[in-house]
Amino acid sequence: MPEEFKIVVDNKNLLTDNRELGTGNQFTDVAPNLKMDKVDGGRGSAWGDYDNDGDEDIVAVGTYQPHALYRNNGDGTFTDVAEQAGIADPRGGWGSLFADYDNDGYLDLYITRGGWSGAAENTLYHNNGDGTFSDVTHAAGVADPQSSFCAAWADYDNDGYLDLYIADGVIGDGAANVLYKNNGDGTFTNTAESAGVANTGNSLGTAWGDYDKDGYIDLHVVNFGQSNVLYRNNGDGTFTDVTPTTGMDIPVTDAFVTFFLDVDNDADLDIFISNSGSFQAFIAGQITGTAPHDGDRQVLYRNNGDGTFTDVTRESGLYHAFGAMGANFGDIDSDGYLDIYLATGAPQMGRLERDALFRNNGDGTFTDATLALGLGNIGKGHGVTFGDIDTDGDVDIYVPVGGAFIGDQWHNLFYQNAGAGNNWLTLKLVGVKSNRDGIGAKVTLRVGDSVIYREVSGGCGFGSTNSLSLEIGLKAHTKVDALEIVWPSGQVDTHRNVSVNQKLVVTEGKSL
């Protein structure tokens, strides 16, 4: 048997209690207590403060029930106000994304629809600023009546308005992906073909990130059963496929979702791809002494800082993770390093892999800490997202759950984080010349001898949006020596000696 496929059972790889991670860092599913345990064939979810009351709210969509909009009451409880808000669409959905596309200070909502169910129109809800939304899909020109799956917001041309990319064609109907350029007047124009990103490869996942830090946000697209594509933004409204020259042309057969994140705090963005390949492939490899198909696994690409990437999945400890349809990231122990949650389980009734949480050890490796943290639901997890429900500085986790069949359902999960006792800083960015949400902004924190790097994301994972506020763990550091923000407009703001354990609203071009 090849050495890389032998499993060594030791205290580092098999965590059965909380001794190694600390007894305070434990998750509890509070969804039933909060009446957020909806059984809806869970798909995408999104965090965002849609009513500007200072608390994070959550949208959840599924294939069997109308959408849910859980308004945070600020006292540890939530109320589903979807019907009153005007978004309780009985058609359900596959993805949900909060973003302020018109820069009026209120988060709007985009719902993707169709997925493997076939072609269907998506919906853009405009936030009216009074707790209600209006369907402006056709007026804005963003219906995209195809088999849409994931989508993501970003300002690809740096004009101050958010644009929208949508992954289409998962059912193999040849549908091309869409890039809706924001015209700045409430309408959008599909520029995918002229921009060079009209991918027709059974697309599932997509994410934006400025991997080469040239000031123009780049695009990654994963295609089910076909080659994935990294598009470099040329800065003139067009993109170039740089996949072969960047070392990212490894075949990932059952790729599902993707996201950009800095796993090693070296101030550039790495890329993760989830894969729904089964554990049976690994077992077959053990029996025959051969490796499983290299495409049937998760992939972590480390950014080398020179425009290329290296596959570091094996050495990082993520190589033996299987079955992830959904995935996302957040710093669950506030140590300054981003951890990865895998939501597992393909549509087949026999696929019963447990979800997995891989804790970032801060040395380039990850440890499966699932059981130690009170996680590990066995079900069909999808649009997992991270945010802070109670503004206590640690990230909580929302997991929509639901299989493809009526008899393969479970309620959605809401894991509240008891915290690890570390210090933290939460930043809500407000763009002025840049888009209002600060999506695409690069944030660098210098704390002692350490550097922490984050970029505001407008959508990643399984049709989902993490909180647009950055929840940043600082471990034991008692202040941030320097906080630097490079805004999409090119504006650079630096703030010094920032106090910890607080949520700050940071406005472009202004002092704290």
pLDDT at 292 over 80: no
Please state which of the ranges 3-7, 99-103, 483-487 shows the lowest mean pLDDT: 3-7
Q: Answer for the pair 46, 112: CB distance below 8 angstroms, yes or no.
A: no
Write down the pLDDT at residue 403: 65
| Global confidence as pTM | 0.92
- pLDDT top residue among 508 and 277: 508
Q: Is the per-residue pLDDT at 174 higher than 50?
A: yes
In this predicted structure, what is the pLDDT of residue 415? 94
Give 180's pLDDT tier (boundaries 50, 70, 90): very high
pLDDT at site 350: 64
Residue 187 binned pLDDT confidence (cut-offs 50, 70, 90): very high
pLDDT, residue 6, reads 44
Over residues 211-241, the pLDDT tens digits come to 999 999 999 999 887 889 999 999 999 999 9
Task: Give yes or no for residue 11 having a pLDDT over 50.
Answer: no
Identify the pLDDT of residue 129: 98
Confidence category of residue 73, pLDDT binned at 50, 70, 90: very high
Using CA atoms, how far apart are residues 32 and 78, in angstroms rounded to an integer? Answer: 11
**At residue 212, what is the residue type?**
D
pLDDT at 42 over 70: no
Would the pLDDT of 351 be above 70? no
Q: How many residues does the chain have?
A: 512
Of the listed ranges 16-20, 269-273, 313-317, 479-483, the one predicted with least confidence: 16-20
- pLDDT averaged over the chain? 88
pLDDT digits (tens, 9 = 90+) for 197-210: 998 878 889 999 99
Residue 161 has a pLDDT of 99
Which stretch of 110-114, 153-157, 252-256, 335-339 has the lowest confidence by average pLDDT? 252-256
Other C-beta atoms within 10 Å of 130: how many? 9
At residue 137's C-alpha, the angle toward residues 52 and 82, to 5°, is 45
* Range picked from 319-323, 350-354, 373-377 for highest mean pLDDT: 373-377
Instruction: Give the C-alpha separation, 481 to 449, whole Å.
Output: 10
Q: How confident is the model at residue 320 (pLDDT cuts 50, 70, 90)?
A: confident
pLDDT at residue number 323: 76
- Taking only the tens place, the pLDDT of each residue in 443-495 is 999 999 999 999 999 998 888 999 999 999 999 999 999 999 999 999 999 99
C-alpha span between 107 and 435 (Å, rounded): 12
For 253-266, what is the mean pLDDT?
Answer: 91
Q: Which two tokens stand for residue 478?
A: 């008692």
Domains delineated in the chain:
29-417 (2.130.10.130), 424-507 (2.60.40)
- How far apart (Å, rounded) are the C-alpha atoms in residues 470 and 378? 29
pLDDT band at 17 (very low <50, low <70, confident <90, very high): very low
Given the DSSP bridges, would you call strands 178-182 and 163-166 parallel, antiparallel or unpaired?
A: antiparallel
How far apart CA 491 and CA 42 sit, in angstroms, is 40
